[in-house]
Structure 1
Amino acid sequence: MRYLTTILITLAAITLTGCMEWDYGREESFSNSANGLFITNEGNFQYGNASLSFYDPATRKVENEVFYRSNAMKLGDVAQSMVIRNGIGWVVVNNSHVVFAIDIDTYKEVGRITGLTSPRYIHFVSDEKAYITQLWDNRIFIINPRTYQITGHIECPSMEMESGSTEQMVQWGRYLYVSCWSYQNRILKIDTTTDQIVDELEVGIQPSSLVLDRNGKLWTLTDGGKVGTPYGHEAPTLCRIDAETFTLECRLRFAEDDEPSELQLSGAGDRLYWLNEDVWSMSVDSNRLPVRPLIEQRETLYYGLTVDPASGDVYVADAIDYQQQGKIYRYSASGEEIDEFYVGIIPGAFCWK
């Protein structure tokens, strides 16, 4: 469901500008050094109502609209993802073509990267280099985070500018692995010392989520494409790849009409989690899909997923109807509900502080 929404957003973006008018108002002061969870709320396409929330698991307190309240400025249009490096949070705002750098305690903007096409995810190689993947753009942008400048790009082969997309990234040693999603079926291997693609591996149709477990194995979910599209359709799969040899070791097939998404990894790197209507989990040492879910769906629209790397608690985002404030459900590692709270419109991604 999440990727169908993304397709509709991008189709509209082809003909309509992604620029927005920033609104300024009164700033609030924050100073929050507590550990916790950031939630990026996508908001509705072209409404400019993306937002950022912060939840403290210890106090069970949530603060919504922290970016707007701290900067007196809208976050933008379609907040896609966020990562933290050295006390700075990097918030990728897809349809505003921008990545904001913020202080993770005050939520104040400290810089921004502009000139992007349709950014999806950011991965840091060092303090001086990061990569940004793009939706429906065959280039991976190379960034200098110190200067917030684009320093180059990696052009992906056999990928058209308007239809190709690169998605999530993980690193094993000097090599970066990148999933190619829209109308693609490949994982790319990039040498981060030369910024060159050195290999590629075919998996299933449209690999999206990508994680690296404690055994040095890459796992990716492929959504199988959509019936009637030119690229074809097949059953979704969960694939295991050895990062050292870059070979496909195992391909676990879902039912034809399943829609698995949001692959996540436990803090210890020993368990996988994903959404497929319900919340599912399995050991990274398993060679078969589970038959019973960890958490059953309950008149909800599960849209995002994360796992607390310290406690193992599972957090699930409910987009409800894509119009009103979304809700986050917090469960124990065994699937018992602990808390629930409202955030912004269409909560889609998480980032642990």
Structure 2
Amino acid sequence: MKHALRHMLLRSLLLLTGALSTGACMEYGPQTEEAFDLRGRGLFITCEGNFMWDNASLSYYDPESRRLENTVFLRANGMKLGDVAQSMTLHDGKGYVVVNNSGVIYVIDPDTFRITGLIEEVVSPRQILFVDEQTAYISDLYDPRITVVDPRTNRIRSRIDMNGHRSTEQMVLSGDRVLVNCWSYDNKILAIDTRTERLVDSLTVGWQPNSLVLDRHGKLWTATDGRSGEAPALWRIDAATLEVERRFELPADRPPSRLTLDAANDRLYFIARDVWRMSTQDESLPAEPFLPYAGTLYYGLGIDPDTGEVYVADAIDYVQNGVVYRFTAEGQPVDTLRVGVIPGNFCFKRL
């Protein structure tokens, strides 16, 4: 596995120095470690970096002071984040940074950015979803199984077979089921019974469902890429029955992606070249975009759950450092942030 030696050394250091407790000190690599203590509201931005370049990074932004700190993982821990920072999730006072091609999830203190734990032995992790205090699911690009982890110990408890479907991506919890989309070269939404940890149902949608969210009315939304002879589309699905209620087709050159809900879970945002916004109860697509295309590459999208402000990531050319644009809930520009290479995912730290 890529970076296996580094992870073995890191795990040994964690055990030897007691770094599994918050605030422990890492001594690794030539980078001088910096002490951070950034409490309160904030925003983590995972910057994927380039595949096989080992240049993923993590940025942190304070919306109130407009203070931006780049490469905080490297600066706090004295080591690189790894290869392709896919996503980040906060749970129970801990940050979980999923590094896809490095096959690792770092557990960090969200105020100091220091490593407090490590989840390994996953092939190509994409997202982590917390089912309860004892259970977290990890989706995977190449492994046709969902990995089940106990977040109290960061140890793998089991794996759930996906009946040959790999490239599981985003997950949502709906009652006693976890719903997950299969993205790469697939067209399925799968349902897992959390009580038995078994695959129990599936739904065929369009080609390559790339996003998944659950609104306040119990409706599941996905976005499909489309292909020759099939238009890209938004799909509204009854989460309880997995029956398709509505399919909204888009032009072939504007596939939807990055589905995101506001804090009330009743307004849907997505990227389809422009940034679009609509009510989850609308029966047609909006006529005008929320944020028009500006000759750039909108790549990531996040909605501040406290203020409704909109953050849009611009990957530019996938090589140079990217940009994040901050807008009010009405679409007025507020700030522009220069971050790492290919910013893609936002994780909001709340009070």
TM-score (norm 2): 0.90
Q: Deviations over 1:312-332 (max 9, x none)?
A: 111000111212211100111
- 2:74 is equivalent to residue 68 of structure 1: yes
Q: Could you tell me which residue of structure 2 aligns to residue 30 of structure 1?
A: 36
- 2:320 is equivalent to residue 327 of structure 1: no
Q: Out of 242-251 and 308-317, give the one that drifted further.
A: 242-251
1:1-353 equivalences in 2 (<5 Å)? 18-19=2-3, 23-159=29-165, 164-225=166-227, 227=228, 234-353=230-349
User: Within 2, Cα distance between the matches of 1:323 and 1:195?
Assistant: 40
Counterpart amino acid of residue 223 in structure 2: L
Structure 1's consecutive aligned runs of 4 or more residues displaced over 4 angstroms after TM superposition are none
Cα deviation, residue 200, structure 1: 0.8
Cα deviation, residue 19, structure 1: 2.3
Q: Deviations over 1:131-184 (max 9, x none)?
A: 10110221111111122111211111243xxxx311100011111100011121
User: Within 2, Cα distance between the matches of 1:93 and 1:245?
Assistant: 33
Q: Out of 89-98 and 244-253, give the one that drifted further.
A: 244-253
Q: Could you tell me which residue of structure 1 aligns to residue 20 of structure 2?
A: none
Counterpart amino acid of residue 314 in structure 1: V
Asked whether the 8 Å contact 1:235–1:257 carries over to 2, the reply is no
Secondary structure of 1:30 counterpart: coil
Q: Out of 30-39 and 254-263, give the one that drifted further.
A: 254-263
Asked whether the 8 Å contact 1:18–1:46 carries over to 2, the reply is no
User: Within 2, Cα distance between the matches of 1:20 and 1:341?
Assistant: 33
Cα deviation, residue 20, structure 1: 7.0
User: Within 2, Cα distance between the matches of 1:20 and 1:280?
Assistant: 41
Q: Deviations over 1:224-275 (max 9, x none)?
A: 14x4xxxxx5111111111222211111111222221111001111110011
TM-score (norm 1): 0.90
Asked whether the 8 Å contact 1:136–1:182 carries over to 2, the reply is no
Q: Out of 330-339 and 252-261, give the one that drifted further.
A: 252-261
User: Within 2, Cα distance between the matches of 1:27 and 1:39?
Assistant: 20
Cα deviation, residue 21, structure 1: 7.2
Asked whether the 8 Å contact 2:233–2:255 carries over to 1, the reply is no
User: Within 1, Cα distance between the matches of 2:342 and 2:256?
Assistant: 18
Secondary structure of 1:96 counterpart: coil
Secondary structure of 1:67 counterpart: helix
Counterpart amino acid of residue 98 in structure 2: V
Unpaired segments ≥5 residues, structure 2: 7-28
User: Within 2, Cα distance between the matches of 1:126 and 1:312?
Assistant: 27
Q: Deviations over 1:25-49 (max 9, x none)?
A: 2211111112011000011122211
Asked whether the 8 Å contact 1:20–1:48 carries over to 2, the reply is no
Unpaired segments ≥5 residues, structure 1: 1-16, 228-232
Secondary structure of 2:294 counterpart: coil
Secondary structure of 1:330 counterpart: strand
**CA pair 137-20 structure 1, distance change in 2 beyond 3 A:** closer
Asked whether the 8 Å contact 2:300–2:313 carries over to 1, the reply is yes
Secondary structure of 1:95 counterpart: coil
Secondary structure of 1:125 counterpart: strand
Cα deviation, residue 186, structure 1: 1.2
Cα deviation, residue 352, structure 1: 0.7
Q: Could you tell me which residue of structure 2 aligns to residue 5 of structure 1?
A: none
Secondary structure of 2:101 counterpart: helix
Q: Out of 146-155 and 167-176, give the one that drifted further.
A: 146-155
User: Within 2, Cα distance between the matches of 1:48 and 1:82?
Assistant: 17
Secondary structure of 2:132 counterpart: coil
Counterpart amino acid of residue 168 in structure 1: Q
